[in-house]
Structures are given as C-alpha cells and as structure tokens.
C-alpha cells in the first residue's frame, strides 16, 4: 500500500481493502496457531493517542504493534499537556519531533485524524473520529465475514440501530458496498441520517424487512444519552422495535452471523441469548480486530509478512 495514513474507508479502493483483508487473514491464522512474534515493525515506534475511552481498539492496536516488534507508548490524555490547553496540531508536532513512526488517534471530533495527518510525518491511523469513521472496526467486521463466507461480494448485511451517530455504520457502509455486499439499514427515524441511499445503502422501513434473508445482522451500540435527547422513547421500546432477539434472527438466513462492535448494552441492542448464542461472532470480531490492525500497521509502514 502506498498511502501514508488510514483515515477512513471512503477513500480506500476495493483493491486496497482486499489487500488489508488478505494480510489480516494470514495474521489471524498465525494468531490462532499461537504465533505472536513478528518483525515487520522492528525498530519502529507507535504512539496511541486516545482522547476518548476505548477497550478493544486501544488494546488491540497496542498488542498488534508489540507483536510486530514495535515500541509502543500510550499517551494518557487526562494527564498530558492537552489538559494545559495544548492543541492537537502542537501535540502532533511534539510527537513528530520525537521521531515517532505511527500515531493511532481516537478523537471526539470528526476530521481530527485528517488534521493530524496533514501536520505530522508519522503514519496516522484513525481509531474512531466523532460520527465520521472507524475504519479498522469495519475492516475487522469484513475480515470476520470474509473468513466465514469466503467472500464479501453478494452478501446481504443488515445493520440495525443508531446509524446517525455511528462511525462504525458509516465505515461499514463504504467498505462493504465497495466489495459488492448489499447493506440494509434500519433504525429509529430520528437516528437515520439523510443521504444513506446515495452512499449505496438500502434503507428499510422495518427491522423484519432489513433482516429477511440476511447473511449477517449487525447491531450498533446505542449511546444512552440519545434517549435523554428524545431520539427514542425508552430502552424497553428500543429493544422491542429495534433490538435483535432470537425471533428477529429467525427471519435471517439459517446460521446467519450476529455482529456487534462492542461494547454491548445487554438486553438493549441484543438479548443475552443472542450475544452468547451459537450465531454470535462478537468474540471472533475481537480477534479479527487484532489481526486486521497488525495488517494495517504492516502495510502502512512495515514489511508485508505474516
């Protein structure tokens, strides 16, 4: 891959996505064999700059970089000079002056990774920016699907929930449609943005329509503050009309996969039976996340070896 940064899937070609997935599958197979020592990033440094909370993304980037042989630094924004008013650009320049090779950033503001990438020499990877994109989450979702089904083209994927505020939904829409999947979306009207059809989504008028015959059903995390904002009446009603339970799953293809980016609100987006059931790939998604982040780091700035 010749690009310096990974900011989103909107800008990536289908070929670039396929390259990342192919290497990610090799890393995932290696992880399953217990192989964690690689050399693609030996002598390189990776800074994790997370302005928002994270368990999966931060931990898997840290492990991915370490398994590839890099030195890793975690910046605690709460105790850094950000608290003294340092701007993102000045923080970036400071990290660049220390000759860091990669910066993985999560930020509440959409566009923050792009601003940083334009400022620094280091490779910048978007670990989630506002409501904009979460490219490595969508890549790990696609890796999970590709490993199970063999290919993405022709799959029917139902994405349910808060599409408006979900960077995961947007990155998945861009990536899945580029690889030839059908992406159906449904959620409360207040949480469905305009323009989804222009980006290739099929916007459905009911949960059942979205799920009918789907190969995979993806729930999205509902941000609890959205209820206080009046976007839906109550968590109980959200579960009843937009959540995924065993009855809803029956409308999907037999053996359809259940995906969720996590963290899950148990009993809201998905019932516990679905989360812990045979069709759930939520734990497998986490392993895919480690593998795909190894692939992204390798392809942006290391050697393409699994």
Binding site for ligand CP (CB under 6 A): 54-57, 128, 137, 261-263
Q: Which is nearer to ligand CP, 59 or 71 (CB)?
A: 59
Q: Which is nearer to ligand CP, 65 or 306 (CB)?
A: 65
- Which helix (H) or strand (E) element contains residue 21? helix 14-32
Write down the least CB distance from residue 236 to ligand CP, Å. Answer: 25
Q: Could you tell me which of 125, 130, 3, 145 has the C-alpha nearest to residue 64?
A: 125
Query: How many CB atoms within 10 Å of residue 89?
Result: 13
Angle at 67 between CA 65 and CA 73, to 5 degrees: 35
Q: Which is nearer to ligand CP, 76 or 151 (CB)?
A: 76
In contact, 262 and 282? CB cutoff 8 Å: yes
Helix spans in 212-302 (H): 225-228, 235-242, 246-250, 272-275, 282-301
Write down the least CB distance from residue 104 to ligand CP, Å. Answer: 11
User: Using CA atoms, how far apart are residues 164 and 286, in angstroms rounded to an integer?
Assistant: 24
Helix spans in 179-234 (H): 207-211, 225-228
Write down the least CB distance from residue 212 to ligand CP, Å. Answer: 27
Q: Which is nearer to ligand CP, 106 or 164 (CB)?
A: 106
Write down the least CB distance from residue 165 to ligand CP, Å. Answer: 13
Q: Which is nearer to ligand CP, 204 or 226 (CB)?
A: 226
Q: Angle at which helices 167-178 and 135-149 pack, to 10 degrees?
A: 50
Write down the least CB distance from residue 262 to ligand CP, Å. Answer: 5
Q: Which is nearer to ligand CP, 138 or 300 (CB)?
A: 138
Write down the least CB distance from residue 127 to ligand CP, Å. Answer: 7
Query: What dihedral angle (degrees, nearest 10) is formed by the CA atoms of 26, 30, 33, 36?
Result: -170
In contact, 282 and 289? CB cutoff 8 Å: no
């Amino acid at each position: 891959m010749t690009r310096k940064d990974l900011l989103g899937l909107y800008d990536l070609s289908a070929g670039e996505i396929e390259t990342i997935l192919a290497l990610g599958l090799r890393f995932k197979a290696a992880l399953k064999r217990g192989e964690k020592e690689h050399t693609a990033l030996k002598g390189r440094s990776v800074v994790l700059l997370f302005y928002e909370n994270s368990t999966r993304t931060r931990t898997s980037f840290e492990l991915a970089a370490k398994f590839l042989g890099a030195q890793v630094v975690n910046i605690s924004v709460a105790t850094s000079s950000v608290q003294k008013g340092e701007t993102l650009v000045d923080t970036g320049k400071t990290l660049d002056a220390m000759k860091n090779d990669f910066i993985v950033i999560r930020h509440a503001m959409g566009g923050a990774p792009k601003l940083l990438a334009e400022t620094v020499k280091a490779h910048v990877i978007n670990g989630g920016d506002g409501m904009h994109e979460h490219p490595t989450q969508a890549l790990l979702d696609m890796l999970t699907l590709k490993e199970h089904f063999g290919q993405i083209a022709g799959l029917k994927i139902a994405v349910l929930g808060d599409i408006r505020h979900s960077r995961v939904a947007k990155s998945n829409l861009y990536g899945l449609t580029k690889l030839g999947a059908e992406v159906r979306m449904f959620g409360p009207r207040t949480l469905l943005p305009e323009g989804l059809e222009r980006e290739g989504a099929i916007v459905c008028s009911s949960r059942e329509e979205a799920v009918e015959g789907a190969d995979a059903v993806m729930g999205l995390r509902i941000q609890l503050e959205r209820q206080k904002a009046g976007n839906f009446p109550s968590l109980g009603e959200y579960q009843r009309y937009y959540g995924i339970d065993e009855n809803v799953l029956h409308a999907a293809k037999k053996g359809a996969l259940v995906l969720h980016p996590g963290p899950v609100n148990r009993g809201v987006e998905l019932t516990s039976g679905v989360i812990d059931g045979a069709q759930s790939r939520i734990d497998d998604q986490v392993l895919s996340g480690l593998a795909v982040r190894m692939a992204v780091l390798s392809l942006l700035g290391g050697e393409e070896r699994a």
